[in-house]
Amino acid sequence: MTDVICGGWSDTKPATEEIQRICDEVKGQVEERTNTKYGIFRALHYRSQVVAGMNYVIKIHAGGFTYLHVMVFEALPCYGGEKSVTGVQQGHTSKYDLKPL
């Protein structure tokens, strides 16, 4: 099992504090895309991909039976390091099924 291969996706891993910080930072973008306000927004698992920056796909528990898969692009620090949501999938379950969007 590899950690991160340039251009390839990492294995699914438990969310870390850093992944939760990313989720907290992009929560407003997700709420805008889904037209929904989330009281709970807890990162559960993630996968990452090294590109000209970093792509993340993150499984998020958004309360009750609501689970989202959110794709986030993090620009390289030399380009500002900005994080932007590039995809959101609704209707997921707690099942361990995280795949790139």
Residue 50 lies in a domain: yes
Q: How far apart are the first and last CA of the chain?
A: 21
Q: CA 89, CA 14: separation in Å to the nearest integer?
A: 19
Q: How confident is the model at residue 1 (pLDDT cuts 50, 70, 90)?
A: very low
- The predicted model scores a pTM of 0.85
Q: What is the pLDDT of residue 101?
A: 54
Instruction: Count how many domains the chain has.
Output: 1
Q: Is the pLDDT of residue 88 over 50?
A: yes
Q: Residue 31, Cβ neighbours under 10 Å: how many? A: 16
Residue 59 is part of a domain; what is its CATH number? 3.10.450.10
Range of the domain at 66: 13-92
Across the range 76-88, mean pLDDT stands at 92
Residue 70 lies in a domain: yes
Asked whether the beta carbons of 71 and 61 are under 8 A apart, the reply is no
Residue 100 lies in a domain: no
Tens digit of each residue's pLDDT (9 = 90 or more) over 6-43 = 568 888 999 999 999 999 999 999 999 999 999 999 99
Q: CA 72, CA 35: separation in Å to the nearest integer?
A: 18
